[in-house]
Amino acid sequence: MRAKLIDGKRIAADIRADVAKDASALAAEGVTPGLGVVLVGGDPASQVYVRMKTRACEEAGIATRDIKPDADITQEDLLSIVDELNADPDTHGILVQLPLPKHLNEREVTERILPEKDVDGFHPVNQGRMAQGDRDAFRPATPAGVQELIKRTGVDTTGKHVVIVGRSNIVGMPMSTILLQKEPGANATVTVAHSRTKDLASITLQGEILIVAVGVPEMVKGDMVREGAVVIDVGVNRVDDPSTERGYRLVGDVEFEAAAERADWITPVPGGVGPMTIAMLLSNTVRAARRTLEGAPAGAA
């Protein structure tokens, strides 16, 4: 058996097309969705991600306000930038690119963003409301994108055993919360494992749907995948490869070729989850703008 590929690029393109239509409709009503993007310092990977997000916003009709403070900015000054964006009526969503330099307190910065402008879905108010089943609360873009991939592939999650490998506050934990909800694309039985789980293979082999987000190249081997499983690989890792022109290649957290021989569906790396993260961020931003127009703050109950 050879797994069918889950085409994240195509699905993300469909979502972005819908977002562009919604943004155009809002513009006709006098509101241009706006996203404030804060990139602290010059981390190369973060710069690439921000450029991709900014380009996607432009294509969708979302205005961006880019702020790029130096890496040595103080906590107080960074919080002041967030406060300014909070107060700006033309900025409907705020994205502070993570990770921040080590001298800065990420949690304090995240919590300073107004919940109704927290299009990253990291604010504890949005996380708490999400856990309570409030579908108006913003969800983190990557887990929300994974759910959309599963839904649009036609996989029914109801009653399925989903195994998530990874417990980060950005992917693993909110992913488990989303899939436990009483809604389409959820209603699953969820097990969360991680890098310190004993006999990890015995857990992953139970997963009818296996979602891996640990940031370790090919940590999950092919023989750790259940026959017929749906495999969602969130990881993107750069490994040396002198045979390529760039001297490296990108791999996921799952040993793709071996896993593809056992799975029913699998996401490629790149081209799987990555495009969905940006698409869901754009969707959240337009939702924030729409709810502002309607007089109801996005993320509010």
Active site residues: 53, 97, 120
Measured between alpha carbons, how far is 25 from 27 in angstroms, rounded to an integer? Answer: 5
Two structure tokens written together for 64 = 């961006």
* Amino acid identity for residue 290 in this structure: R
Two structure tokens written together for 228 = 């017929």
Measured between alpha carbons, how far is 245 from 229 in angstroms, rounded to an integer? Answer: 34
Strand partners for 5: 266
Question: Contact, 165 vs 211, CB < 8 A?
Answer: yes
Question: Contact, 92 vs 35, CB < 8 A?
Answer: yes
Q: Which residues fall within 8 angstroms of residue 149, CB to CB, at 6 or more apart?
A: 6, 8, 11, 232, 267, 272, 273, 276
* Amino acid identity for residue 268 in this structure: P
